[in-house]
Chains A and B, each alone.
Chain A
C-alpha cells in the first residue's frame, strides 16, 4: 500500500475566494485568499518543509469582492478535514516512514503551478497533513465572463472536495472530461509533486 490511510491530523481550513478579472500573469487580480489554520499538523510532524510555500504572491488580497460567493460552500472541504483529530505524535513516525518508502507526501502547504487552460489559469493550493491531502483550495480560476463565474462558483468547492476524495481512494491518476477540472488536476498534481520532494 502506497499511502498510510489510517489516520488524519486535523486541519481546519478557512477559505475566502475573491475573484476578479485577472491578467495572464496571475499575480494580480483573480487570485484568492486562502487562510489555512493548521491545527496540530505543522508542530507535530517534525517535517522541515511544513508551511514552506505559504508565502506566495497569490495570498495577496485586494481583488474586488464581486465574486466572493463561494465561501459558504467551502464547508465540504472543511468537513472532510474533521476526522481523526485525536492523532498526534504517535503516528508521525509512520507517516514519515511511508513518505520515504513510497513517495508519500511531506506535511505542509503547497501551491501548485498555475496551469494555463484555454479559458485562463487555474491554480491550486493543498494542505498535507500526515502524508495525505486534507484540504485543497483553488487560488486562481478562469473568471473572465459571466458564464465562467457561474461554472466556477459551482465547480470550485466540488473540485476541492474531489482532491481530498481522490487522495483517500489512493489513486495515481484521474481520467475525466471537464475542462476546468483538468486544469485543476494539473495544478493539484504539481502541488502533490512539490509535497513529494
Chain B
C-alpha cells in the first residue's frame, strides 16, 4: 500500500468532537436546564425538540402545580371545576401504583385536620414531568442529552452512535458538608433523584405518621426511569432501610445512595 493513498490530513480514525449546548428555562418553580451534546447541537431539529420538551414541562405546570392556584389540580380540589386534564388522572393512577410498590412509604394523599383528604402528588410530578420531557429528545438522532430540574436529573440519547459517547457525570450533593459533592454517578441513560433534608425543614411527610421527616442527610436513587427514581428517593427518605429492601426486591435496576 502506498502512502500516497492515505490522505495527509487524517491520521486515522478519531472520535468525533462533540459540541455541547445548554438551554435554561424557568418552569415548575425551578430552573430547568437542558444540555445537548452533538456534532452540531445548533441543528434546527435539536432546537425544536428542546422547545417541545420545555413546552411539555410548562403544560405540566399549568395542570399539576400544587402552588399555582390556577392549576387544574388545585381548581379541581377547590371545587372550582369538574373537568381536568387527563394528566391529573394519569398521575393519580401513578401515585396509587407508587404507594403499592413502596408499601405505603410513598403516599400522595394525606388527610388534613378537618377530615378532608388532599391529593398532593408533588413527590412524583417533577420526576414524571421531566421524564416525559426527555421523551421528546429520545427521538432526535445523534444527540445525547441531560436535563436537570431542581435536583432531578435525566440522561439519555437519541438513535445513532451518540448513545455510546461520553457519559454524563451527575454529582450528588453532600448533605452534611454543603459545598461538596459526595458522589459522582456516571450514566448514559437513566434518571437520578434526590430527596432529603431541606433548608426549610422537613418537606417530605412520613405517610405512616403524617409528620415531616426530620433528620439530616439525603437519599438518592439512580435507575432507568426518573419517575420511579423520584418515587423511590422519596420513599427512601421516609425509611431508608425498608426502602432499600423493597427496592432490591421489586425494582432491582435501581440503586439507592443513602447519605
Chain A contact residues, CB within 8 Å of chain B: 2, 76, 101-103, 112-113, 115-119, 147, 151, 155, 158-159, 161-162, 165-166, 169-183, 185-187, 189-190, 192-193, 196
Contact = CB atoms under 8 A, between A and B. Distances in A.
B181 interface: yes
Contact of B30 (A2, A76, A186): A186
B200 A176 contact: no
B199 A151 contact: yes
A151 B184 CA distance: 26
Contact of B31 (A103, A115, A169): A115
Contacts, number: 157
Interface in B156-182: 166, 168-173, 175, 178-181
B196 A115 contact: no
Interface residues of B, number: 49
Given A115-B30, A196-B21, A174 B181 contact: yes
A186 to B, nearest CB: 2
A103 B42 CA distance: 13
Interface stretch (B1-9, B74-82, B147-155): B147-155
Interface string B14-41: 0001111111101001111101000000
27 contacts: A103-B19, A103-B20, A112-B24, A113-B26, A162-B173, A165-B180, A166-B181, A171-B181, A175-B151, A175-B152, A175-B170, A175-B172, A175-B192, A175-B194, A176-B172, A176-B218, A178-B197, A178-B199, A179-B150, A179-B199, A181-B199, A186-B24, A186-B31, A187-B31, A189-B24, A193-B22, A193-B23
Nearest to B22: A193
Contacts of A171: 169-171, 181, 184
A122 B200 CA distance: 15
Looking at chain A's contact residues, is the secondary structure mostly helix, strand, loop, or mixed? Answer: helix
A141 to B, nearest CB: 11
B193 interface: yes
Contacts of A190: 24, 31, 33
A98 B162 CA distance: 20
Contacts of B181: 165-166, 169, 171, 174
Nearest to A104: B20
B102 interface: no
